[in-house]
Structure 1
Amino acid sequence: MENNRLMKDIEFIVEIDKMKSILRQTTLMDKSKRENDAEHSWHISVMAMVLSEYANEEVDTYKVIKMLLIHDLVEIYAGDTFCYDKVGNEDKKERELKAAEKIFGMLGEDKGKEFRELWDEFEEMKTKEALFAASMDRLQPMLSNYYSGGGTWEKFNVQKKDIYKRISPVKESSEELWKFVEYMIEDAFEKGYITKE
């Protein structure tokens, strides 16, 4: 095969199949199994398509979806770090930066640069698209926890204040979704899904 660019693209596509094997702490809503990174990325991308109308400002949904589809590719090498794992989060940034160099470095320079810039923008959460993407990324496990009767909140005794802190990007990106988030957290607390402070 003479087309080096195509071969690099195919190698990248083959490599990211590993996303299907990276297990997250979050379970499916039916509690049948833990979800993997590929399932998570698909779910939050569809959520962005469905929920973008509720953003406080109009967002470029296509750009949001691109961010959501690539933001966890680094976990192929860095692993999934549970958001409430204080020890695991100490070196998460360092592990993920190394992984970003490796995974996006597999692509040709132009595609690698585009993907890396999207990944960096997502991580920085400064643009309206990155903020909305982060909101989807954080809302999806929350929905899983709520609709499965506690999920990882119960399993790891997560406190209400920590959930509010984790989900805070939603407050900045969508007033309407934030009202729903507050309802879910308070209702989950009343039902005993969330640990009392």
Structure 2
Amino acid sequence: MQEIIHFILEVDKLKNVSRKVRPVGLNRYENSAEHRWQLGIFAASLAPYAEPNTDINHVIRMLLVHDIGEIDTGDTFVFVQGGWDERKAAELIAVKRIFGLLPQNQAAAFLELWEEFELSQTPEARFANSVDRAMPVLLNLANNGGSWLENGVSYERVVGRVGPQINEGCPALWDSIEEQLKDAHKNGWFGIPIS
């Protein structure tokens, strides 16, 4: 029991990990704990659009653990270019440390979920990744460009970074988002890339 309590208090630190996207109507950035909660609700809501026989409870478990490494590494802005291999290697070290606070069988199960999400090869992992990639897009759309304008993120970078993963895991979601992105582009909600 004490190992589990130690683990959950360590996970509480996600509330202090800021992301580069603002919640709708707020002037502050969201934190990683809020992000994970919202993804779980989003995945459950999108269940009718998942590939047939997708285990939504498994998807939600993946989404709950996929950002645990940010306790040690911090969040990486989803629209940043380059350096992803190094970031993911650092996150793997972090999740092994954090999951290692749990009893061995639980640690192994959580690590397996994290790795499944990262590999994105199962229907559940593809769906989880599509939900994860879609949420910052939806928040930026709801905030008239939000962090895209703040960080000089172009329309092309957004579409290139999230389009393939959202479309692979939930084509209906991508169809909806793609149209909204085109409208946002016409409205000038994207930044001019910083050289």
TM bracket (short chain)? over 0.9
1:31 matched to which residue of 2?
Answer: 26
Alpha-carbon offset, residue 170 of structure 1:
1.4
Alignment pair present for 1:173 and 2:169: yes
**Compared CA separation, residues 81 and 109, structure 1 to 2 (3 A):** same
TM-score, with normalisation over the residues of structure 2?
A: 0.93
Alpha-carbon offset, residue 32 of structure 1:
2.4
Alignment pair present for 1:91 and 2:71: no
Candidates 137, 156, 159, aligned match of 2:154 = 159
Alpha-carbon offset, residue 88 of structure 1:
5.5
Candidates 171, 174, 180, aligned match of 1:184 = 180
The answer (yes or no) to whether the contact 2:151–2:191 under 8 Å persists in 1 is no
RMSD: 1.5
Aligned length in residues: 192
Alpha-carbon offset, residue 185 of structure 1:
0.9
The answer (yes or no) to whether the contact 1:67–1:119 under 8 Å persists in 2 is yes
**Compared CA separation, residues 91 and 126, structure 1 to 2 (3 A):** same
In 2, the alpha carbon distance for the partners of 1:88 and 1:34 equals: 23
Alignment pair present for 1:120 and 2:93: no
The amino acid across from 2:11 in the alignment is: I
SS in structure 1 at match of 2:20: strand
The amino acid across from 1:172 in the alignment is: E
In 1, the alpha carbon distance for the partners of 2:21 and 2:31 equals: 9
SS in structure 2 at match of 1:73: coil
Following TM superposition, the consecutive aligned residue runs of length 4 or more in structure 1 with deviations greater than 6 angstroms are none
1:70 matched to which residue of 2?
Answer: 65
SS in structure 1 at match of 2:19: strand
2:54 matched to which residue of 1?
Answer: 59
2:190 matched to which residue of 1?
Answer: 194
Q: Unpaired segments of 5 or more residues in structure 2?
A: none
In 2, the alpha carbon distance for the partners of 1:74 and 1:58 equals: 29
Deviations for 1:38-66, whole angstroms, at most 9, x for unmatched residues?
00000010000001211233310000000
Alignment of 1:42-53 (within 5 A): 42-53=37-48
In 2, the alpha carbon distance for the partners of 1:51 and 1:122 equals: 17
Q: Unpaired segments of 5 or more residues in structure 1?
A: 1-5
SS in structure 2 at match of 1:80: coil
Alpha-carbon offset, residue 192 of structure 1:
0.4
TM-score, with normalisation over the residues of structure 1?
A: 0.92
The amino acid across from 1:184 in the alignment is: Q
**Structure 1 or 2: larger strand share?**
1
In 1, the alpha carbon distance for the partners of 2:77 and 2:185 equals: 21
In 2, the alpha carbon distance for the partners of 1:155 and 1:149 equals: 11
Alpha-carbon offset, residue 87 of structure 1:
5.7
